[in-house]
């Protein structure tokens, strides 16, 4: 079976409470390091007007879009109160490095 995980950097690259934009080919993902230590990943572009979610304010497991304030739940990808949703991508940490599942990336294109 083909390798479905891709390394997107070191745990140390993303301080707790922050996000980073990661490009996987033409797919752009926002990876967040939550205060509880988890890493969660969703599409980088906000479904409203493509705001850069990796630059948004992180509150628990919710990111607030920096452009107009839509709030995205990072576990589900759902946008609070807007009926929109983003794709989520499984993330794992192995030996201090962050991996995203490329299988999910490929299946959701
Ligand atoms: S672009 Fe994200 S809320 Fe408008």
pLDDT of residue 25: 85
* pTM beyond 0.85, yes or no: yes
Cα 32 to ligand 1 centroid, rounded to whole Å: 18
Look at residues 50, 94, 58 and name the one whose alpha carbon lies nearest to residue 75: 58
Tell me how many domains the chain contains. 1
| Strands of 25-90, DSSP E | 27-33, 39-43, 57-59, 62-64, 71-73, 88-89
pLDDT of residue 105: 58
Quote the domain boundaries for residue 12: 5-107
Which strands sit side by side in the sheet containing 62-64, from one edge to the other? 57-59, 62-64, 71-73
Cα 48 to ligand 1 centroid, rounded to whole Å: 5
* Residue 86 token pair: 């983003």
Cα 51 to ligand 1 centroid, rounded to whole Å: 5
pLDDT of residue 26: 85
The CATH number that applies at residue 83 is 2.102.10.10
Q: Which atom of ligand 1 is nearest to the CA of 50?
A: 1
Q: What is the mean pLDDT of each run of 10 residues along the chain (109 residues)?
A: 82 97 92 97 97 98 98 97 94 96 62
């Amino acid at each position: 079976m083909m390798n479905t995980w891709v390394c997107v950097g070191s745990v140390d690259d993303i301080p707790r409470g922050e996000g980073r934009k990661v490009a996987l080919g033409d797919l752009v993902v926002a990876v967040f390091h939550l205060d509880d230590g988890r890493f969660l990943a969703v599409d980088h572009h906000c479904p409203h007007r493509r705001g850069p979610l990796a630059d948004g304010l992180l509150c628990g497991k919710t990111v607030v879009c920096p452009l107009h304030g839509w709030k995205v739940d990072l576990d589900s990808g759902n946008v609070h109160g807007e009926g929109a949703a983003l794709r989520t991508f499984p993330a794992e940490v192995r030996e201090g490095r962050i991996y995203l599942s490329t299988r999910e990336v490929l299946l959701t294109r």
